[in-house]
Amino acid sequence: MSTAQIKFGTSGWRAIIAEDFTIANVRRAVTGIARYVASQKSSEARVIVGRDPRYMGERFVEVAAQVLSSFGVQPLIIPEAAPTPAIAFEVMRLKTDGAINFTASHNPPEYNGIKFSTPDGAPALPEATKKIESLVPVNGDYSGGTAGERKIEPETIDPKPAYLARLKEIIDLPLIKNSGLKVVYDPLWGAARSYPDQLLREAGIEVATVHDTRDVLFGGHAPEPDGELLDEMRKKMKSMGARIGIATDGDADRFGIVDEDGSFIQPNYIIALLFDYLVETRGWKNGVGKSVATTNMINALAAHYNVPLYETPVGFKYIGELIKSDKIAIGGEESAGLSIRYHVPEKDGILAGLLCCEAVARRGKSLGQQLRDLFNKVGSFYPQRENFRLTPEVKEKFTGKLRSDPVELSGRKVQQVVRTDGLKLVFEDGSWVCYRLSGTEPVVRLYSEAKSEADLKKLSSAAKDWIFK
């Protein structure tokens, strides 16, 4: 039996099914969570247990319920696959002591994972996950439970009705209907099947779906709503004359948006567009949040609207804290996660897609046209992300470089060094690069942004050279 070291990263613990993600290790991980929850509350603790549609999900939920029950914690089981944002909303609505969600989000189908949400519905912060890790038993030491003393029967719950009712309050569905907008939705075989499409259909909006059956292999690739994986959605859009296509990943915390001409609008731009749209339509000017690796178009818009800007480390839990304290109208990450004021402090890919539908319907312009309007308002921004694998020797040398304070990069003078997360170098012309080492594999993530596509190419090349030279 593999006794894996269980560590919770930016989005929980993930591992390959039947290698490290086994029944035994799931039992260990949930024991750590149960001990943590029990330590936070003297009695009557309740924890939601949900999952995405991955292989063995039902069995993992069953094991988690057994472990929680043995610690005197009431399991609230969601029988069907459910989106991460719906689970987060249910934590808040029912005032539970958290949620255990079996999901590997957008990771390939051979993975599964455990995400723990705290009683505020937000992803657990590092202080909580470190405590949980310290409480995970080694080699099957499950002492501390109350098995045999007190049997707590699990309850079943359905988060769908309340979550969809909340979205109905946020999204102007009558406006979308009256505009005649046609929509195609691709859940990528994931947890949000029959969520946004049901909401739109019930509002009288014409919507078609693709990939809306359960497939534990997600069509043979990762359930990630990237442009190259959305061709079926494009075909359906063309055949029915839809002006927008919306997609979500395996657990629906990430989004992918396709414009009426079939072009994929990258998440950086969607966050900026929706920030601009919310200020215009809701009048929310309390602030905006973004991770350090997300486009500086957000910075420019914050300056344009004279609102506070909060730049966080990578990891949506930090954005979630800003939403909880009502410091921001919207917060997002370039990896396709966002949420808004008065909503869950968790990524919501369903909400993102529906807000894009509303923006197209209200403004009567494609997202591409709206983006061009934004460029005219605050200037042009061309961001990108690249991953590079490192040999042990290169990684050791590069790790040392990250501690330095470069004054220039390929002739560009560094105006500002930012160490919020990794190393970000901001240059005099407003372009920037950010380097972040992966915590789980020998990879460096390189984020670059420039004012033109030609300059981005030059900047990216120089930034890559700095890694390896």
Per-residue confidence (pLDDT) for residue 2, from 0 to 100:
54
Q: Using the predicted structure, report yes or no on whether residue 147 has a pLDDT greater than 70.
A: no
Per-residue confidence (pLDDT) for residue 285, from 0 to 100:
96
Per-residue confidence (pLDDT) for residue 143, from 0 to 100:
56
Per-residue confidence (pLDDT) for residue 8, from 0 to 100:
85
Q: What is d(CA 365, CA 345) in angstroms, rounded to the nearest whole number?
A: 30
Query: Do residue 219 and residue 288 come from a single domain?
Result: yes
CATH of the domain at 298: 3.40.120.10
**In this structure, what token pair is assigned to residue 191?**
């947890």
Per-residue confidence (pLDDT) for residue 150, from 0 to 100:
60
Q: Nearest 5°: phi and psi at 13?
A: -100, 130
In a domain, 7, yes or no: no
Per-residue confidence (pLDDT) for residue 168, from 0 to 100:
98
Q: How many domains does the chain have?
A: 3
Maximum CA pair distance of the chain?
A: 71
Q: Using the predicted structure, report yes or no on whether residue 307 has a pLDDT greater than 50.
A: yes
Query: Do residue 120 and residue 177 come from a single domain?
Result: no
Element (H, E) at 336: none
Domain that holds residue 427: 382-468
Residue after which a domain boundary falls, among 130, 158, 186: 158
pLDDT classification of 441: cutoffs 50, 70, 90: confident
**In this structure, what token pair is assigned to residue 280?**
């215009």
Query: Do residue 225 and residue 327 come from a single domain?
Result: yes
Q: Using the predicted structure, report yes or no on whether residue 9 has a pLDDT greater than 80.
A: no
Residue after which a domain boundary falls, among 378, 396, 430: 378
Query: Do residue 239 and residue 182 come from a single domain?
Result: yes
In a domain, 58, yes or no: yes
Mean pLDDT of 162-171: 98
Q: Which letter does DSSP use for residue 56 in this model?
A: T
Query: Do residue 184 and residue 259 come from a single domain?
Result: yes
Query: Do residue 400 and residue 354 come from a single domain?
Result: no
Query: Do residue 33 and residue 118 come from a single domain?
Result: yes
In a domain, 4, yes or no: no
Q: Which letter does DSSP use for residue 55 in this model?
A: T
Q: Using the predicted structure, report yes or no on whether residue 362 has a pLDDT greater than 90.
A: yes
Average pLDDT over the chain, rounded to whole? 94
In a domain, 1, yes or no: no
Residue after which a domain boundary falls, among 378, 412, 429: 378
Per-residue confidence (pLDDT) for residue 451, from 0 to 100:
96
Query: Do residue 239 and residue 352 come from a single domain?
Result: yes
Query: Do residue 374 and residue 386 come from a single domain?
Result: no
Q: Using the predicted structure, report yes or no on whether residue 246 has a pLDDT greater than 90.
A: yes
* Of residues 68, 41, 59, the one with CA closest to residue 144: 68
Q: Using the predicted structure, report yes or no on whether residue 148 has a pLDDT greater than 50.
A: no
In a domain, 129, yes or no: yes
In a domain, 349, yes or no: yes
Are 432 and 426 contacting, i.e. CB atoms less than 8 angstroms apart?
A: yes
Q: How crowded is the C-beta side of 185, counted as CA atoms within 13 Å?
A: 31
Lowest mean pLDDT among 73-87, 370-384, 402-416: 402-416
Q: Using the predicted structure, report yes or no on whether residue 149 has a pLDDT greater than 70.
A: no
Per-residue confidence (pLDDT) for residue 76, from 0 to 100:
98
**In this structure, what token pair is assigned to residue 7?**
């560590």
Q: Using the predicted structure, report yes or no on whether residue 87 has a pLDDT greater than 50.
A: yes
Q: Using the predicted structure, report yes or no on whether residue 172 has a pLDDT greater than 90.
A: yes
Query: Do residue 100 and residue 214 come from a single domain?
Result: no
Q: Which residues pair with 379 in a beta bridge?
A: none
SS3 87: helix
In a domain, 2, yes or no: no
Residues 6+ apart with CB under 8 A from 450: 382, 431, 456, 458, 459
Query: Do residue 143 and residue 167 come from a single domain?
Result: no
In a domain, 6, yes or no: no
Lowest mean pLDDT among 71-75, 148-152, 329-333, 419-423: 148-152
Mean pLDDT of 15-30: 95
Q: What is d(CA 222, CA 52) in angstroms, rounded to the nearest whole number?
A: 13
Mean pLDDT of 222-230: 96
**In this structure, what token pair is assigned to residue 100?**
């255990």
Instruction: Using the Cα atoms of residue 233, residue 234, residue 235 and residue 237 in order, give the sign of their dihedral.
Output: positive
Lowest mean pLDDT among 41-50, 181-190, 243-252: 41-50
Q: What is d(CA 397, CA 468) in angstroms, rounded to the nearest whole number?
A: 9
Percent of the chain with pLDDT over 70: 96
Query: Do residue 338 and residue 245 come from a single domain?
Result: yes
Mean pLDDT of 160-183: 98
CATH of the domain at 425: 3.30.310.50
